Structure 1
Amino acid sequence: MTEYVTAPLLKSWLHDGREIALLDVREHGQYGEAHLFYATPLPLSRLEVDAPRLVPRQGVRTVVYDSGEAEGVAERAAARLAALGYSQVAVLDGGTRAWTAAGYRLFAGVNLPSKTFGELVEHAYGTPRITAQQLAAMQAAGEPLVVLDGRPVSEFHKMNIPGALCCPNGELAYRIRSLVPDAQTPIVINCAGRTRSIMGAQTLINLGLPNPVFALENGTQGWYLADYTLEHGGARRYGADSGDTALRAAARQLAERFEVPQVDAATVQAWAADGERSLFLCDVRTPEEFAAGSLPGAQHTPGGQLMQAGDQYVGVRGARLVLFDSDGVRAPVVASWLRQMGHDASVLQHGLHSGLALAPRAAPQPPALPEIGARELAQRLEQGEVALVDLRPSMAYRAGHVRGAQWSIRPHLARDLRAETRPVVLIADEPALAQWAALELPRPPALLQGGMAAWKQAGLPLQATPDQPMDAQCIDYLFFVHDRHDGNKEAARQYLAWETGLLPQLDALERSAFKLPQTAAEHA
């Protein structure tokens, strides 16, 4: 039987100091249009795949919600979580409609707590900034200058400021003295918008770097809106051997300033056995380092992204976060920011060399589906014997799909196929997503073996439909976030206005959850 909570009760739960997992189970585009401030996106289409990682303790107080419309996505998600073993799951009665009717605000966009925090940091610390015009003038004059892009390598590759070098924010403290060995050269940190520019610049300032340090105002979007040219396909980045521990003492002092606890392996082992608290063991190093070997039971949470997009890694408000590295520099710096965000963050003593080993989380196994090869599928499609449904992202479908394939997504799958009498075949980038989605159908479908990669490898044709599915159907895609990178200046302006307009939308409880020092500017 589904349990429900009212909007006022949920609001009180979000601020009572106890752990809670607040899960928006709509698809990404719907979530990004309007959601609760502390919500973690866990769309129904990915629920079983991502829930064990985002919400590892099955006894945690959990609330799921949707828009409150007739589709019942929240109820379906609650039932699936219960089937996975989650024991305290409730549904927000009336969903987002009831939340606004109770007088509470919904927020657009993604990564809300982190984005809002970045704006608070700029206000609290008075982070120095430089405009696109000022930066362009310095570059044109040939002045000594280092521009560092604080985003991950994949985002840097999409577009970058000319002359910039990629150094994700979580790596700055560990690599800055290898990249800027002197104490005089000005340093400019940029991202695509504002948050990581501000956070990266303030990180170096908080560490006591004597260099002049600036955040590039509005990042690559500000550069583009000022009619300067961006580069695309950039690969300039920090070197694999560019890390050093020159700032280890400064990182330790920064952690002490913000009361970041140091915990030993035995303490973390005991926390892992605590059935009343959730634990996330976070490896904040680079993807390459993590792939080469990490601590058993750890998840990869690159430091810069853990600060920027924490809801992609941690789905429990109030959980214990234990960070580690191999150098004693990165984890303390990242933890110092997480403490200011209001997280219960600690640093593991001796990091990668602590000997800590936690039991890996057991992943639920999806139901097996019969598979069909690409060439057999092509023949059966030609004869009209099967119905083919493409469950890949809507933008991937637009770019190229099998002729005759219908696009759908798990919340709508049963509805889209209600009149279909032929056997159904599913295509998915991740087979597990199709396997779990199959639970929505009265009869088990088949799965294209090897997915779209196998279809392409067989030399079979694809069809592009740039306008299909229609925008309104693409509930997995948030247009205003992504269009700003595709030459749409109005979308870029709207996005920057959204970022700078976040602070006035907070209520007193949401604002007080952040722990920035009142006198931050005096200590900067």
Structure 2
Amino acid sequence: MISETAPADVRLDLIARREIALIDLREEDPYAKDHPLFAANLPLGRLELEVLDRIPRLDARIVLYDDGEGLVPPAARRLRALGYSRLSSLAGGLEGWRRAGYELFQDANSASKAFGELVEARRHTPSLPAPDAKALIESEPNLVVLDARRFEEYQTMSIPRGVSVPGAELVLRARELAPDPTTTIIVNCAGRTRSIVGAQSLINAGLPNRVFALRNGTIGWTLAGQTLEHGQSDRFPEIADAKAAEARAAARDVAYRAGVRTIDRRGLDILARETTRTLYRFDVRTPEEYAAGHLAGFRSAPGGQLVQETDVFAPVRGARIVLADDRGVRADMSASWLAQMGWEVYVLDGFEGPRQTGPWAPTRPVSPKVQSISAAELAAQIELGAVTLIDLAPSPIHRRGHIPRAWFVVRSRLAEALGGVPGGFPYVLTSPDGALARFAAAEFEELTEQTPLVLEGGTEAWIAAGLPLETGLQQPASPADDVYRRPYEGTDNPKEAMQAYLDWEFGLVEQLRRDGAHGFYVI
């Protein structure tokens, strides 16, 4: 059994900024249709792979909910097995929140997006509609277009003349990219939030240039019938020391105005010893800089994405956040926004302490013991038609390439999926690196009373062995609703979905007013 927490009590904790992690256990697509503002999506099927980093303190207060799917009991069992001790369920689940008359939000990263809309409403961030921006880009040589998204998103589709400058890099790099104060700067993203926050970052930092957000981003560009570029690779250049010093002074001033505090290494060590509070430590530099050398214990969270996806990186609302950056600018600017979003955030003064190298790797529990099969052995069994293969990969990864004849299954729906998967042969489970398959093996055995085999090294080992792949969703045993299809990503989204997304964003300020629990402010 698990105790219940009333929706009113959850809402009070959020208003009072007491630590609480409100966790939606559904898959991402149903979560994106309806959820409380500060609910974080942590699907039951991926719980073991993500929870230790996202909720690092084992006695943090966690409130779980679903929408009647029965996901809470198994989630509670798994979390207790991992050592989490303060668990409860949201009384009545999502329907209980509805009956209490509280607001439900849509899409992913809703709190960050609602905050971005509030920034524009309060500061009247200058913006250009797509046709006006296109005319300026085509006619004005003294202009730069700065794309505030991740480099991978920029490569997928970009505005003509766009240069990749992910959000936290903008204040640090803009003076190098536009040294002439008469140069016009257009900041864009795919939708609205990162354009608004990026443009307002430059304005807050006192850049003398004319700065505009591209209104509605690449969605607005597409809806205006204008052509996007693809496969571009223009990235920000290195910055001169004098320009970096100017940016540092400006960013520190913005952080001060937002109420951000700085701490030294000793202060960080003291905060880390306070076991009654959750402490997130993020390195907000680029992933490449992080891999080259970072402070031990800090997770890679490039600042622009951290502000955009705060619910993903830090689902414990009311926790403390410490940001690290060897140049300071990115940490100060990211912290300025997090502070306005109601976080207790600190910037680490200096970049001292034990170092590590390499990309960030998630923290995972000890992997369960399983019976395994090699890629070569599996290939032989598939050729004989003597095996039933279940792929637990996220649906986009499965579509891009999976082992031939594999059944696509969402782990949280394993029980119902097995009814559509043929039996009579040994079962083999796989997932991208094999980790999820190993965690699912015991669950599978409980459901079927058969011990499955797990592909050693997962599908990545199959690919490394040079074995063939299929693409598409050839054999779905579960609906592919594990991933929400964002209307602002990719190049083939229906225009109706794009417009509906913009209409939703336009209504967020009023929805925040009705919700009344956000605690945001805008400097």
Superposition TM-score, scaled by structure 2 size = 0.92
In structure 1, runs of 5+ residues without a counterpart are: 518-524
Deviates more, 1:32-41 or 1:156-165: 32-41
Conserved in 2, the CA contact under 8 Å of 1:33 and 1:478?
no
Letter in 1 for 2:440: A
Conserved in 2, the CA contact under 8 Å of 1:15 and 1:509?
no
Letter in 1 for 2:374: G
TM-superposed CA distance for 1:399, in Å, is 4.0
Letter in 1 for 2:172: Y
Deviates more, 1:284-293 or 1:91-100: 91-100
Q: Which of 434, 448, 455 is the equivalent residue of 2:455?
A: 448
Conserved in 2, the CA contact under 8 Å of 1:153 and 1:166?
yes
Alignment of 1:40 onto 2:40: yes
Aligned to 2:481: 475
Conserved in 2, the CA contact under 8 Å of 1:132 and 1:223?
yes
Aligned to 1:494: 500
Aligned to 2:276: 276
Identical aligned residues as a percent: 44
Alignment of 1:434 onto 2:437: yes
Aligned to 2:352: 353
Change (3 A) 1:511 1:197: farther
Indicate the SS of the match to 2:429.
strand
Cα distance between partner residues in 2 of 1:22 and 1:391: 25
- 1:432-489 CA-to-partner distances (Å, cap 9, x unmatched) read 111112232224422223433443455544434457639x811212135367632422
Cα distance between partner residues in 1 of 2:248 and 2:273: 31
Cα distance between partner residues in 2 of 1:463 and 1:323: 42
Conserved in 1, the CA contact under 8 Å of 2:11 and 2:517?
no
Aligned to 1:84: 82
Deviates more, 1:199-208 or 1:171-180: 171-180
Letter in 1 for 2:234: R
Cα distance between partner residues in 1 of 2:285 and 2:377: 45
Letter in 2 for 1:479: R
Letter in 1 for 2:452: P
- 1:321-359 CA-to-partner distances (Å, cap 9, x unmatched) read 111111122211111111111111111111x236699xx
What aligned pairs does 1:62-461 form with structure 2 within 5 A after superposition? Answer: 62-69=62-69, 72-240=70-238, 244-350=244-350, 352-353=351-352, 363-417=364-418, 420=423, 422-442=425-445, 443-461=450-468
Indicate the SS of the match to 1:479.
coil
Conserved in 1, the CA contact under 8 Å of 2:127 and 2:214?
yes
Change (3 A) 1:413 1:249: same
Cα distance between partner residues in 2 of 1:25 and 1:512: 22
Cα distance between partner residues in 1 of 2:345 and 2:117: 21
Conserved in 1, the CA contact under 8 Å of 2:191 and 2:488?
no
Indicate the SS of the match to 2:16.
coil
Aligned to 1:463: 470
Indicate the SS of the match to 2:255.
helix
- 1:275-324 CA-to-partner distances (Å, cap 9, x unmatched) read 21110111111101100111111111111111111112112101111111
- 1:482-509 CA-to-partner distances (Å, cap 9, x unmatched) read 6763242222111111211222223556
Deviates more, 1:453-462 or 1:433-442: 453-462
Deviates more, 1:446-455 or 1:72-81: 446-455
Letter in 1 for 2:8: P
Change (3 A) 1:62 1:511: closer
Letter in 2 for 1:288: E
Conserved in 2, the CA contact under 8 Å of 1:408 and 1:416?
yes
Cα distance between partner residues in 1 of 2:373 and 2:463: 15
Cα distance between partner residues in 2 of 1:39 and 1:430: 28
TM-superposed CA distance for 1:116, in Å, is 0.3
TM-superposed CA distance for 1:212, in Å, is 0.4
Aligned to 1:521: none
TM-superposed CA distance for 1:242, in Å, is 6.4
Cα distance between partner residues in 1 of 2:397 and 2:258: 44
Cα distance between partner residues in 2 of 1:349 and 1:149: 29
Deviates more, 1:317-326 or 1:411-420: 411-420
Conserved in 2, the CA contact under 8 Å of 1:391 and 1:426?
yes
Deviates more, 1:126-135 or 1:491-500: 491-500
Change (3 A) 1:287 1:457: closer
Cα distance between partner residues in 2 of 1:452 and 1:80: 25
Deviates more, 1:20-29 or 1:447-456: 447-456
In structure 2, runs of 5+ residues without a counterpart are: none
TM-superposed CA distance for 1:6, in Å, is 2.6
Indicate the SS of the match to 1:202.
helix
Letter in 2 for 1:128: P
Conserved in 2, the CA contact under 8 Å of 1:169 and 1:196?
yes
Cα distance between partner residues in 2 of 1:224 and 1:335: 33
Conserved in 2, the CA contact under 8 Å of 1:25 and 1:74?
yes
Alignment of 1:515 onto 2:521: yes
Conserved in 1, the CA contact under 8 Å of 2:434 and 2:459?
no
Deviates more, 1:278-287 or 1:94-103: 94-103
Aligned to 1:522: none
- 1:113-151 CA-to-partner distances (Å, cap 9, x unmatched) read 100000000011110111111111112223411000000
Letter in 2 for 1:148: L
Superposition TM-score, scaled by structure 1 size = 0.92
- 1:28-82 CA-to-partner distances (Å, cap 9, x unmatched) read 112112212101111112211111111111111111111123xx21221111111
Indicate the SS of the match to 1:262.
strand
Conserved in 2, the CA contact under 8 Å of 1:68 and 1:93?
no
Cα distance between partner residues in 2 of 1:275 and 1:423: 47
Cα distance between partner residues in 1 of 2:50 and 2:460: 23
Letter in 2 for 1:289: E
Cα distance between partner residues in 1 of 2:138 and 2:488: 30
Cα distance between partner residues in 2 of 1:73 and 1:272: 33
